[in-house]
Amino acid sequence: MSDQRTYQQAQQLLESNDIFVMPAEVHGIITGLLACGVDIEEKDYQGLLCDVLNDGISFEKNLKHWLSELYTQVVESFTNEQLQFEMLLPDEEDSLIDQANALVAWVNGFLLGFGLKQQDYGKISGDVKEVIQDFTEISRLDTHFDETEEDKQALHEVLEYVRVSAMLCFSELGKHENTAQTSKTLH
């Protein structure tokens, strides 16, 4: 999902619809919604995104289609057994500053999405609370990186931590497709 052309095309699509946020932030919002327990079968995420990104105004058809594809990709990456969840970020060939800015936008989006639907912060596990605290710190990350191997490695470690942490949140709070079927079978 980190294909540069795809990321650039997503940025152009958003801007052509007068939505001036990074694709990383949109992906983070969707991921946060799903990670906090939004039922993956629900379609109200489009309305939430309209409210958050477009002052409640409905999106154009081409943007709705892309958002639907993005939502489906996140659901599939969270629910596959290979744990292949990837964040939508600029390509590794981009500058570390661009990558870091996108990571901060993604984390801010995740926190927003998570906060929109999380009903009871007091009932979430200590691990998830720690993730939310860490993400809050990451959202304040100084995105000025030098193009050194050390800075590249440091950014990679933060990216991997965020990726794994998002999966942890989903595994604890996310609604899986067959949850309802399983509970019916048990009775």
Cα–Cα dist 34/27, whole Å: 11
**Which of 157, 105, 121 has the alpha carbon at shortest distance from 37?**
121
Cα–Cα dist 132/111, whole Å: 7
H or E element, residue 75: helix 61-79
The model carries a pTM of 0.88
DSSP code of 41?
Answer: T
For residue 183, what pLDDT is reported? Answer: 35
Q: Go through 100-135 and write b for each residue having 16 or more CB atoms within 10 A of its CB, e for each that does not.
A: bbbbbbbbbbbbbbbebbbeeeeebeeebeebbeeb
Alpha helix ranges (H) inside 91-178: 96-117, 126-138, 149-173
- Compute CA distances 18 → 22, 102, 137, whole Å: 12, 19, 29
Q: Which two tokens stand for residue 92?
A: 């590794």
**Cβ atoms < 10 Å from Cβ of 160:** 10
Cα–Cα dist 34/45, whole Å: 9
For residue 177, what pLDDT is reported? Answer: 53
Q: Which two tokens stand for residue 64?
A: 């709705």
For residue 174, what pLDDT is reported? Answer: 82
Which CATH entry fits the domain spanning 4-182: 2.60.420.10, 2.40.50.140, 1.20.120.1200, 1.20.120.740?
A: 1.20.120.740
For residue 99, what pLDDT is reported? Answer: 93
For residue 143, what pLDDT is reported? Answer: 83
Cα–Cα dist 177/42, whole Å: 11
For residue 173, what pLDDT is reported? Answer: 87
Binned average pLDDT, 10 residues per bin, the chain of 187 residues? 69 94 96 86 82 90 92 89 86 90 96 85 87 95 86 93 94 66 36
